């Protein structure tokens, strides 16, 4: 099982944004192999 996570308010306050951020983290976890977890990291601008 792979897990992606996002945290409020650091990754956003809106539910839709948190889901998007956690989805991105999940896909990154899956890309690196099975049984991984990733937390979303907001890119510095």
Helix, strand, coil shares of the chain as percentages rounded to 5? 40, 15, 50
How many Cβ atoms sit within 10 Å of the Cβ of residue 27?
13
Q: What is the mean pLDDT of the chain?
A: 90
Whole-number pLDDT of residue 12: 85
Whole-number pLDDT of residue 41: 87
Confidence band, pLDDT 50/70/90 cuts, at residue 2: very high
| 45 is a domain residue | no
Domain total in the chain: 1
Q: How many helices (H) and strands (E) does the chain have?
A: 1, 2
How many Cβ atoms sit within 10 Å of the Cβ of residue 18?
19
| 44 is a domain residue | no
| 13 is a domain residue | yes
Could you tell me the residue range of the domain that residue 13 belongs to? 3-39
Which residue matches tokens 């907001």?
42
Whole-number pLDDT of residue 3: 95
What pTM does this model have? 0.82
The predicted-structure confidence for 4-25, as pLDDT tens digits, reads as follows 999 999 888 899 999 999 999 9
């Amino acid at each position: 099982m792979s897990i992606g996570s996002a945290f409020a308010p650091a990754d956003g306050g809106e539910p839709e944004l948190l889901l998007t951020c956690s989805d991105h983290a999940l896909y990154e976890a899956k890309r690196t192999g099975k049984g991984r977890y990733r937390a979303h990291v907001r890119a510095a601008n």
